[in-house]
Amino acid sequence: MSLNMLTPEFIIDRDRDRCIDCKVCVSQCANLAHIFDEEEQRVVSDNSKCVACHRCVSMCPAGALSIRKFPLDFKANANWSADAIREIYRQAETGGVLLAAMGTGKAYPVYWDHMLLNASQVTNPSIDPLREPMELKTFLGRKPDSLRGELGPQLELEIPVMLSAMSFGSISLNACKSLAMAASGAGTMCNTGEGGLHTELAGYGANTIVQVASGRFGVDAAYLRAGAAIEIKIGQGAKPGIGGHLPGEKVGEEVSATRMIPLGTDAISPAPHHDIYSIEDLRQLIYSLKEATEYSKPVSVKIAAVHNVAAICSGIARAGADIIAIDGFRGGTGAAPLRIRDNVGIPVELALAAVDTRLREEGIRNSVSLVCGGSIRNSADIIKAVALGADAVYIATSALIAMGCHMCQKCYTGKCNWGIATQDPNLTKRLNPDIASARILNLLRAWTHEMKEMLGGMGINAIESLRGNRLMLRGIGLNDSELRTLGIKAAGE
């Protein structure tokens, strides 16, 4: 037996006074951290298998369980953190690329938390959303400069929030269904990701953005026509420049049919689109998709926020995109190489501000709508994004958390105990789309109230008057170049 140098990350605390050995935890943990010891006739646990998803804690009828961080300390060293050491153990053992899921957990600055909102006092009145209409309706798509120009197809959203791309395959059909139901309930959009459109979801087309990614999975004429808009996925914030890989084990019958690939084969999305090696190629794809849908749907292009994002977006706008989705480097993922996730890309706040400024300088901001995503955690983040210049935001992780995700960040194992990031029928049945969609809708409703409250406080009663209204923001704890990029003043100025 080879020596495993990895110590457990968590401790499963079982209160023996409370535990009734009912074995619920045994059946709930797909990681097999709970085992029933036949000899001893009692439940025991294996700390090393626990990923802290809290499923067993939530389900234990006796309230006997708790999960703690394993307290084992390495000798303190600011440079060699426990993570840095553990990652080396893992790679020394396997020789493989480290995988990670969800957004980076590194302590990079979160600029949302360094921006403060304004409110009216005396010189103009705040507006009470309980008494006065407060409008969040948002239209995404190309707008002409003048009323005499032609107004292209628009996506009409009741709130400036859309549910971001998550493919069937990376998440369960029940999870996809929950998202689609929530999108249609809230009058907004969900996004198929690169997983194709399952037949059971076809009915939600009016609230669906169908994605065309480098693997072209599930893309045919009917698919393009099925959605309200089409999104070309160039990149994703969690893994810019990297393709995707859905292992063959996850490509069961349903996934295989929806993605239009043989059963059990790996679904590999190449890093680039092999028909897009430059901006003019992108233009051709944009117009092919428009042709295929008779110019009736807006075409979005999603990119990861990278260093040169402003110039890239200017090119995308000029290539004919109607919407640009910018995904920040803190954005989530079902699986990404850890080093990529933690080190590549830039924060979406800076990217968004730079893009909005650039498009305005070039006088082409109206020709394209901006959507930003990548760790929007609450309604204040949305308001700040709109004030920086976004037309709308994409949320994904927040929606999953609303559905029950506990952020164990092990989505790539396929053993999601909450029935979300898994295809195992024993696990997926744990997620009830009626309940999960109601929870997402609750979240969106709560955020809607909060957004209206914040808008009213600023004396604004329509979201378009906040868009790009950077005077409503002040920076706190930011240096000059950050303030300059964000285009905001410091608090107190």
Partner 1 sequence: MLQKEGVIRIPSGCAIAGIINRKKKTFSGDSIITSISLMHDRSNGLGGGFAAYGIYPGQKELYAIHIFFDSHEARMSTEKYLGRYFDIESGEMMPTRKSAVIKQAPLIWRYFAGPKEAALEAEEFSFEDEDNFKSIPDADAEGAREKEFVVRRVMHINSSLPGAFVASCGKNMGAFKAVGYPEDVGEFYMLDKYRGYLWTAHGRFPTNTPGWWGGAHPFTLLDMSVVHNGEISSYDANRRYLEMFGYKCTLQTDTEAITYILDLITRKHGLPLSTAMAAMAAPFWDEISRMPDEMRDSARKIRIIYGSALVNGPFSIILGCEKGMFALNDRIKLRSLIAAEKGDYVYAASEESAIRAVCNTPERVWSPRGGELLSAGYEEADHDTENETVNVSRYIENGLVNINAGIQDRGVDMHIETNADYAGRSNNFLKYNRNSKRVMAGTNAGLKRESERDTEVRAV
| Nearest one of 374, 372, 416, 357 to 29, comparing CA atoms | 416
Nearest CB to ligand SF4, comparing residues 26 and 462: 26
Assess 230 for contact with ligand SF4 (CB under 6 A): no
Number of chain positions touching partner 1 (CB under 8 A): 37
Strand partners, 209: 191, 229
Nearer to partner 1, 37 or 361 (CB): 361
Question: Does the footprint of ligand SF4 cover residue 400 (CB under 6 A)?
Answer: yes
Q: Which of 52, 316, 346, 460 binds ligand SF4 (CB under 6 A)?
A: 52
- The type of residue at 295 is Y
Q: Whole-angstrom Cα distance, residue 169 to residue 198?
A: 10
Shortest spacing between CB 354 and partner 1, in angstroms? 14
Report the site for partner 1 in 364-383 (rule: CB under 8 A).
Answer: 365-366
Number of residues located near ligand SF4, criterion CB under 6 A = 29
Whole-number minimum distance, CB 143 to partner 1, in Å? 5
- To 5 degrees, how large is the angle CA 304–CA 348–CA 487? 130
Binding of ligand SF4 at residue 207 (CB under 6 A)? no
Confirm or reject binding of residue 148 to partner 1 (CB under 8 A): yes
Query: Interface with ligand SF4 includes 336 (CB under 6 A)?
Result: no
Quick check: 430 binds partner 1 (CB under 8 A)? no
When the beta carbons of 10 and 139 are compared against partner 1, the nearer one is 139
Q: One symbol per residue from 153 to 182: x for binding partner 1 (CB under 8 A), - otherwise; what is it? A: -x----------------------------
307 binds partner 1 (CB under 8 A): no
Q: How far is the CB of 190 from ligand SF4 (least distance, A)?
A: 16
Task: Decide if residue 130 touches partner 1 (CB under 8 A).
Answer: no
Q: Enumerate the β-bridge partners of residue 168.
A: 171
Compare residues 125 and 425 and give the one whose CB is closer to partner 1.
Answer: 125
Determine phi and psi for 44, rounding to 5 degrees. Answer: -125, 165
> Which of ligand SF4, partner 1, none is residue 149 near (CB under 5 to 8 Å by kind)?
partner 1
**Mutual angle of helices 348-361 and 309-318, in 10-degree steps:** 50
Q: Interface with partner 1 includes 469 (CB under 8 A)?
A: yes
Amino acid at 296: S
Residue 358 near which of ligand SF4, partner 1, none (CB within 5-8 Å, type-dependent): none
Q: C-beta of 322: minimal distance to partner 1 in Å?
A: 13
Pick 34 or 358: Cβ nearer ligand SF4: 34
- Give Cα 106 distance to the centre of its chain: 17
What CA–CA distance (Å, rounded) separates 315 from 323? 12
Binding status of residue 392 toward partner 1 by CB under 8 A: no
19-38 residues in contact with ligand SF4 (CB under 6 A) are 28-29, 31, 33-34
Residues near ligand SF4 (CB under 6 A): 12, 28-29, 31, 33-34, 50-56, 67, 101-102, 400, 405-411, 416-418, 420-421
Residues near partner 1 (CB under 8 A): 120, 123-125, 127, 132-133, 135, 137, 139, 143-149, 151, 154, 360, 363, 365-366, 458-462, 464-472
